[in-house]
Amino acid sequence: MATAKSSVTASRIAENKKAFFNYSIEERFEAGIVLEGWEVKAIRAGQVQLTDGYVLIRDGELHLIGCLINPLRTASTHVHPQAERTRKLLMKREEIRRLIGKVEQKGFTLVPLNLHYKGGLVKVEVALAKGKAEHDKRETEKKRDWEREKGRLMRTKVSVKPGKG
C-alpha cells in the first residue's frame, strides 16, 4: 500500500535530511522507481544522493528529478550512464490523481525523503510537503538545539549521582 510508512524490515539506502528542515511533512507515500541495471549496482554500492531531488507530475506520471546516482568505475563500456537523469516513479493511478489535486493547492510540493529496499526492490518514500518560512526554520533549529542540550543535561545529571557515604 502506498500510504503506509516504510516498514521496520526495510533497510534505508539514502535519506534526504534537508527535506525535514526545509519542509513540513504532511503525508508520506511509497513509490517504486524505474532504474537501469548500472543504477541498481551503484545504489547497492551507496553511490546515491537525494538532497537536491524533487518530484514533478508530468502527463499524469510522477518523475524524480535531481536524484544523483554516481556510476561505478567498473560499469560496462557499452553503457553510457547519466548520473542525473529523470527517473519515473510507479504508483497507482488513483493515488497519483489524489496527489495531483493536493499539489495544485497553494504551497504543496512532492519531495523524496528516502530510498530503501523492500522485498528486494528499491522504493522511494515521497512526502507531500509544504515549504517552511525562514522563521519556522529557525524555530526548528532552536528545538533541535534544546533537545541536544537537554540530553547533555540529563546525561551529566545521571552521571553525577550522589553516592552513599
| Residues 99-123 pLDDT 10s | 888 888 777 888 898 888 888 888 9
- Residue 137 in domain: no
What CA–CA distance (Å, rounded) separates 30 from 87? 15
160 within some domain = no
| Furthest C-alpha separation in the chain | 76
CATH number for the domain including 33? 2.40.280.10
- Cβ atoms of residues 48 and 154 within 8 Å: no
Mean pLDDT of 22-27: 82
Show the domain range for 74. Answer: 11-132
* Average pLDDT for the chain: 79
Q: Is the pLDDT of residue 1 over 50?
A: no
**What's the pLDDT at 49?**
83
Neighbours of 101 (CB within 10 A): 10
- Encode burial over 17-51: b for 16+ CB neighbours within 10 A, e otherwise: eebbebbeeeebbbbebebeebbebbbeeebbbbe
Q: What are the Cα distances from residue 76, in Å, to 19, 35, 39, 80, 84?
A: 34, 16, 12, 8, 18
pTM exceeding the 0.95 threshold for the entire prediction: no
Q: Is residue 66 situated within a structural domain?
A: yes
CA quadruple 47, 53, 58, 61: dihedral positive or negative?
positive
Q: What does the alpha-carbon distance between residue 95 and residue 31 come to, in Å, rounded to a whole number?
A: 10
C-alpha cell at 86: 529523470
Question: Do the domain assignments include residue 88?
Answer: yes
pLDDT at residue 58, as a whole number: 87
Q: Within a domain: residue 156?
A: no
Instruction: Specify the 3-state DSSP secondary structure of 112.
Output: strand
Question: Among 17, 26, 98, which Cα is nearest to 57's?
Answer: 98
Total number of domains in the chain: 1
